A and B are shown apart, each in its own frame.
Chain A
Amino acid sequence: MFSDYSATELGSIFAMQGFAGLILFAVFLLMALGLAIIFGQMGVINMAHGEFMILGAYITYLTSNVFADYFPALFGGYFFVAMVLAFLAAAALGALVEWTVIRRLYHRPLDTLLATWGLSLLMQQSYRSIFGAREVGVEVPDWMAGSFQVTDFVELPVNGLFVMCIAVAVTLAVYLLMFRSSWGSRVRAVVQNRPMAGAVGINTAKMDRMTFALGCGIAGIAGSAFTMIGSTGPSAGQDYIVDTFLVVVFGGAASILGTVASAFSISQAQSTMEFFLGGSMAKVLTLLTVVIILMFRPQGLFTLKVRK
C-alpha cells in the first residue's frame, strides 16, 4: 500500500495524517471525558451520552441564531457564550435525569444501560419534534474559518485547532477538578466507599448528582465544539456511542490519563489507516484491534492493580 507513493510524499502523508489524527484525537477526547467521569467514576453506563452532546450542539445553534438576529456585532464571540450555555443546559438536564432515574439504579449497573437507552430515544424524538428532522447548520464565525499553511501539504484548519484547544482545556479542568481539588477527592471517596464517605459527612446523594451533571455538562461542551466541524441532527448522537465507550474502556475506566492515551492511540491508528485503506476498513481494523487488546487486557491500558 505504500508503493504508490514516493518517500517525500510518504513523509508528508504521515505528517498530514498525524495532524488529522490530532483533530480526531480532540474529538474522541471530548466525547470520552464526560463518559469517563460518569462511567469510570460512577459505573453508570450512560447510553444517552451522545444525546447530551447533541443537546449542546442545539444550544449552540440557538445561540448563534440569537446572536445573528440580535447582536450581529458580537457574532464573532457567540461561541464562547454558547459553550457555557451548552454546559449549563446539559448539566441541568443531567442532574434532573440523575434525580429521576439514575439514583434508583446505582446497584444495577446493567440496568442503567437500558434506562439510559430509553432516555436517548426520548431525547432524540424531542429534538426531532422541537428542531425538525433536518440537519441544522451552525454558522462558523469568520475568524474560525480558513487555515494556516504549514508546508505545501500540511495545512492546519483553524476550527480543528480550536477544537484541540477546547479538548486540552477541558481535560486540564477535569484533571484539576477530579484529582487536585477537595471536591474531586470527595467524589472519589464516594466512588470507593459509599457508606464510609457517608459516615464522614459527605452528602453522597448530592455528590452523585453533581458528578453525573458534570459528566453531562462536559458532553454538552463536546457537542457544542463539534458544531464547528460536523453536523447536528436529532439522531447524530447515536453515531458517537460505540466509539465513546471503546475509548473509555480501552483507556481503563477509572483513569483520566488512560482516556487521553486511548483517545490518542485510537485516533492516530484510525487516521493513518484511513489514508491507505479507506474509511470503512480503517474503522473495522481499529475496532477489531481494540477489541482484541481488551480481550488480553480487560482492565484497559491504564489501571491500578489492586487487591481484590
Chain B
Amino acid sequence: MSAATARATNTDFVLAVEGLTVSFEGFKAVDDLSFYVDEKEIRVIIGPNGAGKTTVLDLICGRTKATEGSVKFRNKELTTLNEHEIVRAGVGRKFQTPSIYEDLTVFENLELCYPRGRNVFGALFFKRDQKVINKVRETAEMVNLLDQIEDSADLLSHGKKQWLEIGMLLIQDPALLMLDEPVAGMSVTERQQTAELLRRITADRSVIVIEHDMQFVAEIADHVTVMHQGKILAEGTAEKVKQDPKVIEVYLGH
C-alpha cells in the first residue's frame, strides 16, 4: 500500500482526492494528485492542454480506473465503485462535448435522468406520473428549454445541447457536479446565460469546473487549481494564481 492511500482518512470535505495516480503504458497522466473540495465550493481546474484535467474528472467519476490513490466522496471511497454507483452516490458529470441522447426528445432526455426506476424492472414498469412530469418541466424551465421540450434533442443548437446536458445532471440532484468546459463553443450571449445558469444551480452544491476562459473563471470560481503535467502547480483564488510566476510561465505566459 502506498503512502498516498495510507494518508486517506475521513474528512469533512465533500471530496477528498489523495495521492491519485494513473499511468498509461508508463506515462503518468495524473501523478500523485491531492486536493479537497468543500461543501458548496466552486472549484475551477485550469491548465494547459494535456495537463490531465479531464483525466482527473474521469478518475473521480469512475470512467478511468486509478493506478493508485484514493477518491473519497463524503468519506465514501469511489475508486472501487462503478460509474453508475458513483452517480447514485451523488456525483454528476458533464462531458466536454455535449453528450445527450439525440434519438430522444428533450423531455425524454430529462426523464431518463430522473433518479427513479434505475434498475431493469424499475425501468420496465416506470410510470410517468405527475411528479415526474412536474420535475422534468421544472428542470427544463431552469435550463431555458421549456419551449422545446417536445423537440427531438438532435435538433437543438450546440449551446442548447450543453444546457440540456446540464439539465440532465440537475434532475439527478447531485451533491457534487463536475463540468468539463461548459461554455466551450458558445456564443457570447449563450456564455452569459450559462454563467448565470451556473450561478443559480451551484447555490446548494459543490462544483468542479474545467475551463479555459479566464474571465469566466474569475466570474465563478471560489478556488482555482492549476494543473501541469499531471501535477498541481498552484492553488488558490483566481487572483492569486494569476499572479503566480510558475503559472504565468507554463500557462498564461504565452
Direct A–B contact in the complex, CB atoms closer than 8 angstroms: yes
Chain A interface (Cβ < 8 Å from any Cβ of B): 304-308
Cα–Cα, bound, A308→B25 (Å): 13
Contact of B105 with A by CB under 8 A: no
CB <8 Å contact, B64 and A308? yes
CB <8 Å contact, B24 and A307? yes
Q: A304-B25, A307-B29 are in contact. List 10 more A-B contacts (CB 8 A).
A: A305-B24, A305-B25, A306-B24, A306-B25, A307-B24, A307-B55, A307-B64, A308-B58, A308-B63, A308-B64
Cα–Cα, bound, A158→B37 (Å): 72
Per-residue 0/1 for B41-63: is the Cβ within 8 Å of any A Cβ (1 yes, 0 no)?
00000000000000100100001
Chain B residues with CB below 8 A from A305, complex form: 24-25
Cα–Cα, bound, A304→B58 (Å): 19
Which applies to chain A's interface (DSSP): helix, strand, loop or mixed? loop
Chain A residues with CB below 8 A from B58, complex form: 308
Chain B interface (Cβ < 8 Å from any Cβ of A): 24-25, 29, 55, 58, 63-64
Q: How many A-B residue pairs have CB under 8 A?
A: 12
Chain A residues with CB below 8 A from B64, complex form: 307-308
Chain A residues with CB below 8 A from B29, complex form: 307
B29 to chain A, nearest CB (A): 7
A304, A307, A308, most chain B CB atoms within 10 A: A307
Cα–Cα, bound, A305→B25 (Å): 6
Chain B residues with CB below 8 A from A306, complex form: 24-25
Smallest CB gap from B63: residue in A: A308
Cα–Cα, bound, A306→B23 (Å): 10
**Subset of 12 A-B contacts with CB under 8 Å:** A304-B25, A305-B24, A305-B25, A306-B24, A306-B25, A307-B24, A307-B29, A307-B55, A307-B64, A308-B58, A308-B63, A308-B64
Cα–Cα, bound, A306→B58 (Å): 14
Cα–Cα, bound, A307→B58 (Å): 10
A107 to chain B, nearest CB (A): 15
A255 to chain B, nearest CB (A): 14
Cα–Cα, bound, A24→B24 (Å): 36
Chain B residues with CB below 8 A from A304, complex form: 25
B173 to chain A, nearest CB (A): 27
A108 to chain B, nearest CB (A): 15
Cα–Cα, bound, A306→B29 (Å): 11
Smallest CB gap from A307: residue in B: B24
Cα–Cα, bound, A11→B71 (Å): 55
B82 to chain A, nearest CB (A): 15
Chain B residues with CB below 8 A from A307, complex form: 24, 29, 55, 64
Cα–Cα, bound, A305→B24 (Å): 6
Chain A residues with CB below 8 A from B63, complex form: 308
A21 to chain B, nearest CB (A): 32
A47 to chain B, nearest CB (A): 28
Smallest CB gap from B55: residue in A: A307
Smallest CB gap from B25: residue in A: A305
B19 to chain A, nearest CB (A): 20
Smallest CB gap from A306: residue in B: B24
Cα–Cα, bound, A307→B56 (Å): 12
B95 to chain A, nearest CB (A): 12
Cα–Cα, bound, A304→B63 (Å): 18
B60 to chain A, nearest CB (A): 15
Chain A residues with CB below 8 A from B24, complex form: 305-307
Cα–Cα, bound, A305→B22 (Å): 12
